Structure 1
Amino acid sequence: MYLGIDVGTSAVKALLIDENSVTLAEADAPLRVSSPKPFWSEQNPTDWWDATLRAIDDLHRQNPSAIAATRAIGLSGQMHGATLLGADDKPLRPAILWNDGRATRECAELDAVLPDLGQRAGVATMSGMTAPKLIWLQKHEPDVFAKIKTILLPKDYIRFCLSGDKATEMSDAAGTLWLDEQSRSWNQSAIEACGLSRDQLPHLVEGSDVTGTLRATLADRWDMRDDVIIAGGGGDAATGGIGVGAVSHGDGFISLGTSSQIFVASDKYRPKPEELLHSFAHAIPDHWFQMAVLLNGASCLKWAADLLGEADISALLNQVEAQHDAPSDILFLPYLNGERTPHNNPHARGVFFGLGSDTDRETMVQAVLEGVGFALRDAKSRLHKAGTRCDLPGVIGGGARSRYWIQMIADILGKPLARYEGATKGPAFGAARLTRLALTKEPVADVCVKPAIEEVIEPDLTRHDAYQPRFAKFQRIYAALSDEFTPD
């Protein structure tokens, strides 16, 4: 049995699979995000650990015999989070998350010192990355900065809690700006530019390597064997790719989770920072990927449902679909948490345009869904400029539950999309696959197989044509407002 743990933004998910990749049990433990100031986004690392314990306790209750037979644990998690430990190995402050926008000035300072950083790190310098956050901390919280013994990423804090090991792997390290993607090693000049030393960063491994074994106290808690290994794992994008078999050149998917991504696997390192793409090391050796990253995805739908007081999102979507006969009369910019591809603007915010006295809630929700689709199309154009394409991407993540939304996105893109069996398993499933690779040393192709295609959703070309002028207006509205998003 193999256990995958994904430290997400909204929840920790734990999933248990058997030798045939059949899911035996799964559990979620919710998390909250704190925003103590505008454009800030933080979580307490101890909340991640508490949620992890609750999730695995739940698995133990569901299937104690399967937990007892577990041989290995794999980790996935939200990327970029600056988790700072002091001399006592306890967090010094809340972790600064991937969608935090406070370090904009520090990005410019880092670029001035290291003008070639984008080519080595695989991405333009962005405030959500880990490195500029540390420069911000050095300036604004010098007492905290001076006490930093170790910097970990979210999933790697859970690794430390599980086994006592301080390690990370290539795909998550890629999001720090401190990794030299081509050589898959720490970039000493980037580390020093942030006022740090190499010994403050964790040991680097591949995602399919073993980093340690489960603490005896935890093995006793869950009635596990005493030799359960912990695998390197991966950042959530990479483990999502492992889970759907996106490991060969050209394999790809669209993720509709809290954020959104368009992910395409690559056989070489192909940096395109000028297109605001992420060209990162994959979670398996000698593989890379390119990715258009959007900071907003299914979180926009949840935001709209919460705002409308609608607890049943499925029912809300059914109501919207029932009256959908044309593109919405209003437009929605879905930048509730800023945006990366194609704008690199952490200060961008959501906008409804065209509201009237006759606008109803279904029209507004349809506009939210379309806005995410337009943002995906906008981001996809940057992949195409880089020469990167994927013939039939699958759709994964929580948003993949809605066939209606996937059809809408296919219509907006004008391209077919695939619905996979088990598409909502997500990164935790990929983490479980990585831990199997770490334990058994099987060939990647034998373990990271693609799931069966449940359905290929073809675009409605009449609707695609109808979306063209709406998409053009969507782009014009952002261009007109982009300067207005800058804080006073």
Structure 2
Amino acid sequence: MFIGLDLGTSGLKGVLIDGGQAIRAEATAPLDVSRPHDGWSEQDPGSWLRAADRVMRELGSQADLSGVRGIGLSGHMHGATLLDAGHHVLRPCILWNDTRSHREAAELDADPRFREVTGNIVFPGFTAPKLAWVRNNEPEVFARTALVLLPKDYLRLWLTGDAVAEMSDAAGTSWLDTGRRDWDDGLLAATHLTRENMPRLVEGSEVSGVLRDDLAGQWHLPKGVVVAGGGGDNAASAVGVGVVKAGEAFVSLGTSGVLFAASDAYQPDAASAVHTFCHALPKTWHQMGVILAATDALNWFGRVVERKPAQLTAELGELQAPGRTLFLPYLGGERTPHNDAAVRGSFLHLDHATDRASMTRAVLEGVTHAFRDSFDALIGTGTRIERLIAVGGGSRSDYWVKAIATSLGMPIQIPAAGDYGGAFGAARLGMMAATGAGAEVATAPQIARSIEPDMNLAPAFAEAHARYRDAYAALKGRA
């Protein structure tokens, strides 16, 4: 049996799968995010360890863990977890959706080496500019920083005692030579760091270490359980839904929104703000467009009107043509295609007829238009998308998925009942590491149904998307 642990922004999830990849147990522990200032987003790394212990004990209460052979890890990317020489945490982790380092990001991005080597823009959410911000604003913390880890890799350090990262997550730091799959000494030096400050690198399907004996005893696991390299949350999710070959893609409606396409070659186009990263499997890469607020936008609106998101979407009925009201879902800035940390969300064209349902539709449509932006950017780089699967909590809304299918002009497949997200993909990577299996493990899930685009509404969605792009341009023009 194999365990996958997925460290998400709002919770840590664990799944237990057997040799046939059937889920035998699952558990979740919630996590909190601190936002002490505008644009800041932080988390206590100690809470990840407590959540993992809770999840492991819950899995053990549901199933016998004595046959576990491997553990895989998945987690939210880009977070800066800073440790001293004794591996003590120096400050709260600065998360992926934190935009405080936008000035530092712009300064690093002005150095042409970063785009040339990493294949990506230096976004404010990436790890390198966060370290530059710490050096500028918390010099005493920077001076004591001996090791920089990504969030899931701090969890790994606790599990195994080994400081290790893997390629898919490391590609989001702005320090990795994404084509060569290795740290770049020149980029590290640009932020006053060296390889000594970085973890060892492995592929996601490789063994990164062995579970500590004391933890194995506490959780009733056998000794010698291997811990796989794992993957960043999106790469692990791709392994979970079998998106591992060129032409395969998924759209993720989670806290953030992602349009992810697998690639069998390294083909960056940094200027498009498309992310080009290593995949969690050897000799594979992926490209993706990222929206910083997807279900996060609907959750925000739900808090404002005091309704649960499921209640809001249940009020909508069948898909309608977009109304005049627009919503720009830039609650904390935006990545693809704008690379704009300062922009903020807006409702436009509200009038006396605007009600809660029409505002809900505008929120869903705004995120849909943002996905269309990412789709156009990916296609513009030459990326092929022939099969598209929906994952994430927002994919439970047929209205939302149909809106996205209509805007993109292609069907979207819905997996059959089951969790095929980051935790499941991490468990598959744990299976690969423990057994020596390869990409053949990452099969596509059974598809329950396909949501087809409504081509009668396609022109209306295209017109609304054009107005959405014009609204962003006008907003930038007034800034």
Into which bin does the TM-score normalised by the smaller protein fall? over 0.9
| Deviations 1:343-390 (CA, angstroms, capped at 9, x unpaired) | 001122111111123321111111111111000001111111111121
Secondary structure of the 1:241 match is helix
Match of 1:102 in 2: 100
Contact 2:3 2:68 in 1 (8 A): yes
The Cα of 1:62 is off from its aligned counterpart by 2.0
CA distance in 1, matches of 2:354, 2:68: 53
Contact 2:79 2:150 in 1 (8 A): yes
Which of 436, 455, 460 pairs up with 1:466? Answer: 460
Match of 2:315 in 1: 319
Matches within 5 A, 1:367-446: 367-422=362-417, 424-445=419-440
Match of 2:474 in 1: 480
Which of 269, 285, 290 pairs up with 1:293? Answer: 290
Give 1:102's aligned amino acid. R
Which of 335, 342, 346 pairs up with 2:341? Answer: 346
Give 1:31's aligned amino acid. L
Contact 1:420 1:452 in 2 (8 A): yes
Which of 119, 126, 129 pairs up with 1:129? Answer: 126
Give 1:140's aligned amino acid. N
The Cα of 1:202 is off from its aligned counterpart by 0.2
CA distance in 2, matches of 1:252, 1:281: 15
| Deviations 1:257-294 (CA, angstroms, capped at 9, x unpaired) | 11111111111111110111111111111111111111
The Cα of 1:120 is off from its aligned counterpart by 1.4
Contact 1:397 1:424 in 2 (8 A): no
Q: Any stretches of 5+ residues in structure 1 without a counterpart? A: none
Scaled by the length of structure 2, the TM-score of the pair is: 0.97
Contact 1:397 1:423 in 2 (8 A): no
State yes or no: 1:27 paired with 2:27.
Answer: yes
Contact 2:241 2:420 in 1 (8 A): no
CA distance in 2, matches of 1:132, 1:184: 20
The Cα of 1:422 is off from its aligned counterpart by 4.3
Give 1:50's aligned amino acid. R
Contact 1:329 1:363 in 2 (8 A): no
| Deviations 1:137-168 (CA, angstroms, capped at 9, x unpaired) | 11110000000011000000000111111000
Matches within 5 A, 1:48-197: 48-63=48-63, 65=64, 67-112=65-110, 114-197=111-194
The Cα of 1:423 is off from its aligned counterpart by 6.3
- Flag as ranges the 4+ runs of structure 1 deviating above 4 A: none
Secondary structure of the 1:68 match is coil
Q: In structure 2, do the counterparts of structure 1 residues 330 and 440 end up closer, same or farther at CA, with 3 Å as the change threshold?
A: same
Give 2:108's aligned amino acid. L
State yes or no: 1:215 paired with 2:217.
Answer: no
CA distance in 2, matches of 1:370, 1:179: 35
Give 2:105's aligned amino acid. C
Secondary structure of the 1:393 match is strand
Q: Any stretches of 5+ residues in structure 2 without a counterpart? A: none
CA distance in 1, matches of 2:287, 2:38: 30
Give 2:385's aligned amino acid. C
The Cα of 1:484 is off from its aligned counterpart by 4.7
Secondary structure of the 2:406 match is helix
Contact 2:332 2:341 in 1 (8 A): yes
CA distance in 1, matches of 2:82, 2:249: 33
State yes or no: 1:38 paired with 2:38.
Answer: yes
**Alignment: residue pair count:** 479
Give 2:127's aligned amino acid. T
The sequence identity of aligned pairs, in percent, is 46
CA distance in 2, matches of 1:423, 1:173: 29
CA distance in 2, matches of 1:44, 1:358: 44
The Cα of 1:424 is off from its aligned counterpart by 4.4
Contact 1:292 1:341 in 2 (8 A): yes
Secondary structure of the 2:317 match is helix
Q: In structure 2, do the counterparts of structure 1 residues 484 and 223 end up closer, same or farther at CA, with 3 Å as the change threshold?
A: farther
Higher deviation after alignment, 298-307 or 268-277: 298-307
State yes or no: 1:17 paired with 2:12.
Answer: no
CA distance in 2, matches of 1:422, 1:128: 33
Match of 1:236 in 2: 233
CA distance in 1, matches of 2:324, 2:371: 20
| Alignment root-mean-square deviation, CA | 1.3
The Cα of 1:184 is off from its aligned counterpart by 0.6
